[in-house]
Amino acid sequence: MDMHHPAEPLLRLRGVDKVYASGTVALRGLDLDIGERQFISLLGPSGCGKSTALRLIAGLGRHSGGSIDWPGRGFVPGDLGFVFQEPTLMPWASVWDNVFLPLRLRDRPRAQVAAEVDAALDLVGLSGFAKAFPRELSGGMRMRVSIARALVMKPRLLLMDEPFAALDEITRQKLCDDLLGIWRKAGCTVVFVTHSVYESVYLSARIVVMAARPGRIIGEMAVEEPYPRDRSFRLSPAYAEYCRQVSGLLDQAMGG
Ligand SMILES: Nc1ncnc2c1ncn2[C@@H]1O[C@H](COP(=O)(O)OP(=O)(O)OP(=O)(O)O)[C@@H](O)[C@H]1O
């Protein structure tokens, strides 16, 4: 870090509140700095406001109080990619056309951006499936198409809302490895919402634990294992110890 110009975070949340029209206080006083190229997980029990926080960061809905800023060079359209629990692909369109969608919505001509679509497919390891249709793919492959679509605009921030929750354990582990590779190559920041202690420890450099009613941050942990990470980390005593500590924080979040 340059000591004369300490790096600004990519995103800064200060005292963010969200009260829904129903009166539910989904978030109260959220303070969070998210750095460039960080991999950060938001972990917490159901209803603690993880998805709300992600949606506010994405600009889907207004916060009721506090501020959300992009302090560096500010927010530029295309800076954000979003991946949901369901891949939400268009079943009638090929893999290539699904990934092309964000560019098409911005009126970018097919021929002009073909290389960008190809590069996004290459990034997620699906170059050979450009002409396939979603129904021909496994659940894990469909999720990778969804990730390629989120990354085709080369966003600086990738928001992921429990992307692997609907998949079986083996596919989940494989996708975690894939995601770490994709993240390293894409060079973006990832904010990953999950219920899973194991997933958060494996993936993140930083885990923010939230509690409900009102949704708030109750603790944070750094996972100081260097990247790249692989199976050997998952099997290591250090991994088990991180999981134990994060589970302890989660117990606190659930009032235990
Ligand atoms: N559109 C909405 N209108 C009213 N209340 C909402 C709305 N969306 C969420 N809530 C409420 O806000 C609180 C936080 O919800 P949110 O979905 O952000 O939590 P979460 O941590 O993502 O939960 P989960 O893990 O179950 O997805 C909950 O009490 C929820 O019922």
pLDDT of 2: 44
Model pLDDT, residue 39? 97
pLDDT of residue 179: 97
Rounded-to-integer distance, Cα 72 and Cα 84, Å: 27
> How far apart (Å, rounded) are the C-alpha atoms in residues 10 and 32?
11
- The residue whose CA is least distant from atom 25 of ligand 1 is 46
* Residue 49: inside a domain: yes
> Could you report the per-residue pLDDT of 79-96, keeping only the tens digit for each?
999 999 998 999 999 999
How many structural domains does the chain have?
2
Same domain flag for 149 and 173:
no
pLDDT (average), residues 204-221: 95
Instruction: Indicate whether 180 belongs to any domain.
Output: yes
More confident residue, 256 or 102: 102
Is 62 inside a domain boundary? yes
> Average pLDDT, stretch 125-143?
97
pLDDT, tens digit, 9 for 90 and up, residues 159-192: 999 999 989 999 999 999 999 999 999 999 999 9
Same structural domain, 110 and 231: no
Which one of 24, 25, 254 would you pick to mutate in the ligand 1 pocket, going by the greatest count of ligand atoms within 8 A of its CB?
Answer: 24
CA distance 99 to 153: 10
Residues 143 and 130 in one domain: yes
Can you give the residue range of the structural domain that contains 237?
1-79+156-256
Residue 121 within any structural domain of the chain? yes
Clarify whether residues 161 and 218 are in a common domain: yes
Question: Which numbered atom of ligand 1 lies nearest the CA of 51?
Answer: 22
Same domain, 164 and 226: yes
160 and 72 co-located in one domain: yes
160 in a structural domain: yes
What pLDDT was estimated at residue 256? 62
C-beta of residue 118 within 8 angstroms of C-beta of residue 83: no
Q: Are 117 and 99 in contact (CB under 8 A)?
A: yes
Distance CA 47, CA 27 (A): 10
Do 238 and 148 have their domain in common?
no
The reply to whether 84 falls in a domain is: no
* 6, pLDDT greater than 70: no
Please identify, among 122, 154, 186, the residue that sits at the C-terminal boundary of a domain: 154
Quickly state the pLDDT bin for 125 (edges 50, 70, 90).
very high
- Pair (234, 131) in one structural domain: no
Give residues (CB < 6 A) around ligand 1: 20, 22, 24, 26, 44, 46-52, 215
| DSSP-derived secondary structure letter, 129 | G
Do 134 and 217 have their domain in common? no
Cα angle 103, 40, 18 (rounded to 5 degrees) comes to 80
What pLDDT shows up at residue 78?
87
Domain boundary among 154, 178, 202: 154
Whether residues 162 and 210 fall in one domain:
yes
Ligand 1 pocket test target in 52, 62, 64 with most atoms within 8 Å of CB: 52
- Is the pLDDT at 3 greater than 80, yes or no? no
Considering the domain architecture, whether residues 160 and 250 belong to the same structural domain is answered as: yes
- pLDDT at residue 204 tops 80: yes
Q: What is the CATH number of the domain that holds 195?
A: 3.40.50.300
Instruction: Please give the average per-residue pLDDT across 54-83, as a whole number.
Output: 92
Average pLDDT value for residue range 96-107: 96
Residue 197 Cα to ligand 1 middle (Å): 20
Question: What pLDDT, on the 0 to 100 scale, is given for residue 8?
Answer: 87
Q: Identify whether residues 61 and 164 lie together within a single domain.
A: yes
Last residue of a domain, one of 111, 139, 154: 154
CB distance 211 to 254 below 8 Å: yes
